[in-house]
Chains A and B, each alone.
Chain A
């Protein structure tokens, strides 16, 4: 695996059946490539949280994934409403999810903290009214 393997996904907003399918496919691809189970799971969780956020909070978006020999780079980009206070949003327990989203099992305010916890490098850019872009890198051999 010298060159990066590139995958792209369109994530549909507010579709709770397909939500997670991109993360699922990335997980299966990494597994087939023989990446350690622990690393695969960190990737799966971090990407799934980001994917779900685009489904719930941003009306959908795109995922761009590059797999290298020793790490993965995941870019989650949406043109949703953006995040007003990023520092606040990154705090564990902070959520703006409405009642109907809570009933689906989301809105614990743990998504962004999970992404930070399970990725080795994390970046978030967000502009109100323009959208949010999250970039995560996860090393396969770490920890």
Chain B
């Protein structure tokens, strides 16, 4: 699925890296706890989170992710946008809540992926 399609499915606004919207992603994960993402995620390229702070971007960077989807109408700060821009991470923001956002993406074919790194 293209990141652009994720934005369409979630009716989300794009906040960074417009030039990356045609990048392909296969799987996603969702969490509000960053250490959980760091512990259990493998190659998921999309992070769905209600956590709207620079550390959500940092976590995505450490995991080589491509896209951060903010749920519940969270608007990224300028600091987050700058950091994401530098690291080629697309920030999307959707009005949907976590469960609904994940459900829609799953239904449209985005996969959960494997669960452990090693």
Contact = CB atoms under 8 A, between A and B. Distances in A.
Interface of A: 16-17, 19-20, 23-24, 27, 37, 41-42, 44-45, 48-49, 52, 104-111, 113-114, 117-118, 143
A105 B68 CA distance: 14
A108 B35 contact: yes
Interface of B: 32-36, 38-39, 49, 51, 53-56, 58-59, 61-64, 79, 87, 117-118
Q: For chain B, what secondary structure do more than half of its interface residues adopt (helix, strand, loop), or is it mixed?
A: helix
B66 to A, nearest CB: 14
20 contacts: A16-B55, A44-B61, A44-B62, A48-B38, A48-B59, A104-B51, A105-B32, A105-B55, A105-B56, A108-B34, A110-B35, A110-B38, A110-B39, A111-B35, A113-B39, A114-B38, A114-B39, A117-B118, A118-B117, A118-B118
Nearest to A111: B35
A21 B95 CA distance: 30
Which residue, B32, B62, B117, has most C-beta atoms of chain A within 10 A? Answer: B62
A44 B34 CA distance: 14
Contacts of B49: 105
Nearest to B58: A20
A5 B63 CA distance: 24
A19 B58 contact: yes
Contact of A49 (B35, B51, B54, B117): B35
A19 B55 contact: yes
Q: For chain A, what secondary structure do more than half of its interface residues adopt (helix, strand, loop), or is it mixed?
A: helix
Given A20-B62, A27-B61, A110 B36 contact: yes
A108 B39 CA distance: 10
The 10 closest A-B pairs by CB, nearest first: A110-B35, A20-B58, A108-B35, A105-B51, A44-B62, A105-B34, A108-B33, A110-B39, A45-B38, A48-B62
A1 to B, nearest CB: 23
Contacts of B87: 24
Given A20-B58, A23-B62, A49 B33 contact: no
B53 A16 contact: yes
Given A45-B63, A106-B35, A143-B118, 9 more contacts: A19-B54, A20-B61, A23-B58, A49-B38, A104-B55, A105-B51, A108-B36, A110-B35, A118-B117
